[in-house]
Amino acid sequence: MSDPTPLADASVRDARAEDALAIGSVMVASWKQLYADVLPAQTLQSLTPLAVADDWKRSITSPPTPRHKVLVALEGPALVGYAVAAPAGDAGETAGAVGEVVDLVIHPDSTRHGHGSRLLNASVDHLRAHGYTEVVTWCGERDRLRSRFLESAGFADDGGRRRMDSGPGTPAVVQVRYSAALD
**183 residues of the chain, pLDDT tens digit each:** 555 655 568 999 999 999 999 999 999 999 998 888 777 788 888 889 999 999 999 999 999 999 999 999 999 999 999 999 999 986 554 557 999 999 999 999 999 999 999 999 999 999 999 999 999 999 999 889 999 999 999 999 999 999 988 777 777 889 999 999 997
111, 149 contact by CB (below 8 A): no
Q: Over the stretch 23-74, which tens digit does the pLDDT of each residue have?
A: 999 999 999 988 887 777 888 888 899 999 999 999 999 999 999 999 999 9
- Structural domains in the chain? 10-181 (3.40.630.30)
Q: What is the 3-state secondary structure (H, E, C) of 100-168?
A: EEEEEEECHHHCCCCHHHHHHHHHHHHHHHCCCCEEEEEEECCCHHHHHHHHHCCCEEEEEEEEECCCC
- Asked if residue 68 lies in contact with residue 58, where contact means CB atoms within 8 angstroms, the answer is no
Q: How far is Cα 4 from Cα 167, in angstroms, rounded to an integer?
A: 54
Please give the Cα distance from 109 to 138 (Å, whole number). Answer: 22
Q: If you ran DSSP here, which 8-state letter would residue 9 be given? A: -
